[in-house]
Amino acid sequence: MTEKEVFGWLCEVVHPGKDDKDIVSLGMVEEVVVDKGKVTVTLSFPKRPDPLKNYLVGAVRAAVYRQAPGGTEVEVKTVVKDPAPEKKKGVQDLGLEQVGSVAHIIGIASGKGGVGKSTVAVNLAIALARLGYKVGLADADVYGPSVPIMTDTEGEVPEAEPGEEEGKELFIPIEKYGVKWMSIGYFAQPGQALIWRGPMACSALKQMILQVKWGVLDFLLVDMPPGTGDIHISLVNDIPMEGAVIVTTPQPVALADVEKGVNMFRNPSINRPIFGLVENMAWFTPEEHPEEKYYIFGKDGGAGMAERFGIGLLGQIPLVQSIREAGDAGEPVALGTRPDSLAFLDLARKLVDAIMHID
């Protein structure tokens, strides 16, 4: 029995007074401690008395008893937390107001899946933070959120605090490595596949961007889901996204997908600039022979695509085992000083340059 498992069970406890939302996504679960045969759950309640407090304490106890091994002792504690919301007057659209203090919202996109968008997005975010910028990253991949694993923040649950609008809460991003992270993965039961259908997926991912207390940010990167479907168009339309970075591999087969990605942003109804192209997996370098380069997906394919579509090449990132391992271990390479770490710092500098110089 682990704390993560218990969090999973608590996702089944809903608050009947709050649209039947579960207590984990409501940010009410302050802490879960599993110590040998004992589970202690701490629930937080706002100062305003909650008439359902006793009911929820009982429901939590019952949920844990039901799922925990026989003989487990369960204790439910409660704490009172003053949410102290920062009020801003005269705001019509809570969502847009929240991203109002974000200077640049940049989508990290590609037409194709698995080319390394999330790897590039996470490392780029960390690299920008290392350069001294205030950075956030919203994982908009509702189907396969990867940010929690890539940053080793799985099992963290963002707190919620009341927003300006009744019943609409703001999520507090998870801070690590100098970056503010938000992902739908933080709201899922560990190991549970997320199944969202069109409109629901859309509204869930917009929430991951608009219903978040980002505070003042220089850059908010949005790790887009793969593809160029309706969800993407609606996402780009409804979020004040300034422009995009396209990630690709050098393979000729990626060309058609990159074209779709580029066209999505250049489509007259969207019409946002593309700040540049990142060629990921540009060559393979074995760990034991750092000086060698094998162009297994073809040489300079990304550079060729950039030229063809009239966008700048922001950088080439090699395919190295450490990038994959670091991603899986939740300690992105951009935190270090290896050559591939520095490649992301260079990428970050070039992106800032491109954003500042686009007309």
Ligand X SMILES: Nc1ncnc2c1ncn2[C@@H]1O[C@H](COP(=O)(O)OP(=O)(O)OP(=O)(O)O)[C@@H](O)[C@H]1O
> Under the rule (CB under 6 A), what is the footprint of ligand X?
113-119, 141, 144, 146, 226, 280-281, 317, 319-320, 323-324, 327
The angle that helices 117-130 and 339-357 make with each other, rounded to 10 degrees, is 80
Residue pair 344/124 in contact (Cβ under 8 Å)? The answer is yes
Q: 53 is in the binding site of which of ligand X, Mg ion, none (Cβ under 5 to 8 A by kind)? A: none
Residue pair 334/344 in contact (Cβ under 8 Å)? The answer is yes
Based on CB atoms, which residue is closest to ligand X, 64 or 236?
A: 236
CB of 223 to ligand X, least distance (A): 7
Q: 100 is in the binding site of which of Mg ion, ligand X, none (Cβ under 5 to 8 A by kind)? A: none
CB of 353 to ligand X, least distance (A): 22
State the DSSP code for 294: B
- Chain centre distance of CA 33: 26
CB of 209 to ligand X, least distance (A): 16
- Annotate 107-135 with three-state secondary structure: EEECCCCCCCHHHHHHHHHHHHHHCCCCE
Based on CB atoms, which residue is closest to ligand X, 153 or 280?
A: 280
Bridge-partner residues for 287, per DSSP? none
Q: Which backbone phi and psi does 175 adopt, to 5 degrees?
A: -105, 130
Based on CB atoms, which residue is closest to ligand X, 6 or 320?
A: 320
Among 118, 123, 183, 249, binds Mg ion (CB under 5 A): 118
CB of 241 to ligand X, least distance (A): 18
CB of 238 to ligand X, least distance (A): 20
Q: Of 112, 121, 288, give the one whose Cα is nearest residue 219.
A: 121
Compute how many other C-beta atoms are within 10 angstroms of the C-beta atom of residue 198.
11
State the DSSP code for 186: G
Q: Considering only residues 273-332, where is the footprint of Mg ion by CB under 5 A?
A: none
Q: Between 136 and 175, how does the x/- string for binding to Mg ion read (CB under 5 A)?
A: -----x----x-----------------------------
Based on CB atoms, which residue is closest to Mg ion, 95 or 145?
A: 145
* Number of Cα atoms under 13 Å in the Cβ half of residue 33: 8
Q: Which backbone phi and psi does 266 adopt, to 5 degrees?
A: -90, -10
CA–CA distance, 110 with 108 (Å, rounded to integer)? 7
Q: 280 is in the binding site of which of ligand X, Mg ion, none (Cβ under 5 to 8 A by kind)? A: ligand X
Q: Does 119 bind Mg ion (CB under 5 A)?
A: no
Residues lying near Mg ion in the complex (CB under 5 A) are found at 117-118, 141, 146
